[in-house]
Amino acid sequence: MCKRGSTYIVTHCNFFSLQHNAKVAVLGASGGIGQPLSLLLKNSPLVSELSLYDIAHTPGVAADLSHIETRATVTGYMGADQLGAALKGCEVVVIPAGVPRKPGMTRDDLFNTNATIVATLADACARHCPQAMICIISNPVNSTIPITSEVMKKHGVYNPNRVFGVTTLDIVRANTFVAELKGLDPARVNVPVVGGHAGKTIIPLISRCTPKVEFPADQLSALTGRIQEAGTEVVKAKAGAGSATLSMAYAGARFTFSLLDAMNGKEGVVECAFVRSEETECKYFSTPLLLGIIQCQSNNHKLKNGIEKNLGLGKLSVFEEKLVAEAMDELKGSIKNGEDFVANMK
């Protein structure tokens, strides 16, 4: 083991060992999600360096954020020629880059544009920070996670424990909507949401909500539908001015903070995310994940790993089992679209 400044590097296992300073990159930092997400990350004591990248306006966003009286240093990078520098030394990379949904568009309508953007950024991550935790917000997540994974495989650096599709907004919405209906504090409600991150692939497990709640069948069906179509609710309300940006930034920050907490050794950190999975017949599936660290067998050091354990689907109600079955074909199709996109890349 060698020491560089205050950071220890375990040379044999080739992972960073535990530390409380993290360099985090936001790719797409000038956009509707990227700016509020960067603001939330700048406000966190878990972040020591914030690296902001986009194709335009990033120096201004970085200058603005740099005046905030928190310890994270902020640097802006703009344009493809600065992407490598933006990623160098990053431990976590959050990617909200891409075009937003407009009224009438599905997440899959975004595929052609956002698939290329995500593939390009994943390629840069594979080259410049191959061991970073990669958190994908760019839609359609059901396809962009397979794209990211296949690109990382091409470079021989794919680690399924370190590539996450951020579905946290589905959990945040489920918590909020359940709390509204039951008169609860939403901060104390937790509804696991499994499956994917689009329409009927979003499967809230109301039967596993804490605290325990119950709804009549018609109200449960309506609640489930609202959670599944909540993104469309925002797109329509914004009337062509964009999609969910502020709530997505909050959810992206929540997931990033959970990941950083776990990387810093906090135990019992659980978040749902869309990841490579053996839990169902789909190659990728969102389930509750225990985030954390692993023991390096060669020298017994604790090392950052991302996913410590996939907690699986667990017990489902009959209603939820039906939702999972109905989601499979769409989910498989979206996954295949992502894999095929990378296979056909020149």
The residues carrying an active-site annotation are: 197
Residues 136, 164 contacting (CB under 8 angstroms) = yes
To 10 degrees, what angle do helices 318-343 and 111-128 make? 70
Return the number of other C-beta atoms located less than 10 Å from residue 246's C-beta: 13
Residue 249, both tokens:
């930034």
d(CA 81, CA 84): 7
Preceding peptide of 211 cis, ω within 30°: yes
* Burial category of 99 from C-beta neighbours within 10 Å (exposed 0-12, middle 13-18, buried 19 and up): middle
Contact 134, 326 (CB under 8 A): no
Q: Is residue 167 a contact partner of residue 193, using CB atoms and an 8 Å limit?
A: yes
CB distance 335 to 146 below 8 Å: yes
Q: Looking at beta carbons, which pairs linking 179-185 to residues 24 or more positions away fall under 8 Å?
A: 181/215, 181/219, 181/223, 182/213, 184/211, 184/213
Helix ranges, the chain (H): 34-42, 58-66, 83-87, 111-128, 141-154, 168-182, 217-228, 230-238, 246-263, 318-343
Q: Are 257 and 44 in contact (CB under 8 A)?
A: yes
